[in-house]
């Protein structure tokens, strides 16, 4: 990437292992949040089931979007491994890019996990 000032930036892509580790750390964090929230909501009985569905949606869909947009392209797992998502020009991703990226992640996981994306 060449900046408007004429400085060439080399922005290497992360390999599959650091990405997988960051994903696993984020998954562990999400599972802790879901289990902790589910434990609290279980005390509400049947009325907690609807709130649990909202919690699941929030944790599994909004977690990466909010963190990537608000933390300059980092989720907690990415930050621990020194990774970040950037736009094509090297700038941090914004809300729309983070939303689109994570919405399309569902397509990437089909049909064989992330194998097709890894090969591509």
How many of the other CB atoms lie within 10 Å of CB of 84?
Answer: 17
Provide the 3-class DSSP secondary structure of residue 44: coil
- pLDDT, position 1: 66
Domain ranges of the chain: 16-119
- pLDDT, position 25: 96
- pLDDT, position 101: 86
pLDDT profile of the chain (120 residues), mean per 10: 73 85 94 94 88 92 92 92 86 90 78 68
Contact 100, 64 (CB under 8 A): no
**pTM of the predicted model as reported, rounded to 2 decimal places:** 0.79
- How open is the CA angle 111-33-97, to the nearest 5 degrees? 55
Contact 3, 9 (CB under 8 A): yes
- pLDDT, position 117: 66
Question: DSSP H helical segments within the chain, as ranges?
Answer: 16-42, 47-57, 63-70, 76-81, 95-108, 115-119
């Amino acid at each position: 990437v060449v900046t408007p000032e004429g400085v060439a930036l080399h922005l290497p892509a992360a390999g599959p292992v650091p990405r997988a580790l960051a994903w696993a750390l984020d998954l562990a964090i999400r599972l802790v949040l879901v289990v902790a929230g589910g434990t609290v909501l279980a005390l509400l009985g049947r009325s907690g089931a609807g709130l649990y569905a909202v919690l699941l949606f929030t944790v599994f869909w909004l977690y990466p979007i909010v963190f990537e947009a608000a933390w300059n392209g980092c989720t907690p797992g990415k930050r621990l491994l020194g990774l970040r998502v950037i736009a094509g020009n090297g700038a941090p991703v914004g809300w729309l890019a983070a939303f689109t990226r994570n919405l399309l992640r569902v397509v990437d996981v089909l049909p064989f996990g992330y194998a097709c994306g890894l090969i591509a």
